[in-house]
Chain A
Amino acid sequence: MADGLQQIKNWILERHPERQDIAPDLDLIENRLIDSLSFVEFVFLLEQESGVSIQMETLEVEVIRSLGAIERHFFPAQVEVQA
């Protein structure tokens, strides 16, 4: 898991101490781990960790629905190109 994604996971866990872990496919919205107010803070953090500028107005729910989706959209694996 990318460091940035781990920070995202830690941020959610800090706000939900009743949880020990978050499965990659757990629906963060359905399980109320991110609500409207925390979403704004979440976007701040996601921009900081991923280096990607995010327009909240056009952000689609599916890209942050789970840690797996966040990883795919914001922390794609770094592919090393061999010379």
Chain B
Amino acid sequence: MPARPVAPPAGGLGWANLGMDIVSVNRVRRLLAQYGERFFERMLTPGELADCRTATGLDVLSLCGRIAAKEAAFKTLRVRGRFLPWPDIVVRRSDGGWPLVELHGSAAEMAAGSGIAEITVSISHDVDYAVAVAAPIIAPTPPAQPS
């Protein structure tokens, strides 16, 4: 059996490994009904949950969008053997409504290790699904030292 091809590592000049994810509204609605908000407290920070809250409770489409964005952002890091560090990839709504990604803790460490300074995401949703695509912003390479 041939060996699998080896993908270039994350980061590096000229490389921007995209991440994408899709989340089913039905699936998240079931989780919300079965476990309540506490389930999502393991995945979203209080600020993120506040962004998803409306006068009538948590907006499921917004939840799905946040979840998809975190997963998409994580995929750009291209790390092996790690689970998505949910609370360390924070997706907040900025002035104007665009999502902004903040990397904390282990996510920031993984990004630094992959040569990634920041991650930008875009989220979209319709009735049944939310999708997100993420692109890494590569950390500037330090100038070469004169020999």
CB-defined contacts of B43 to chain A, threshold 8 Å: 40
Nearest residue (CB) in B for A38 is B27
> Contact partner of A44 among B27, B39, B71, CB < 8 A?
B39
Majority-rule SS of B interface residues: helix
- Count, chain A residues at interface, CB 8 A: 13
Give the interface size class of chain B.
20 to 34
CB-defined contacts of A57 to chain B, threshold 8 Å: 85, 87-88, 105-106
**Closest chain A CB from B44 CB (angstroms):** 11
Given contacts A37-B71, A41-B35, 14 further A-B contacts (CB under 8 A): A36-B84, A37-B23, A37-B28, A40-B39, A40-B43, A40-B86, A41-B31, A44-B39, A57-B87, A57-B88, A57-B105, A57-B106, A61-B81, A61-B83
Q: Which residues of B contact A (CB under 8 A)?
A: 23, 27-28, 31, 35, 39, 42-43, 67, 71, 74, 81-88, 105-106
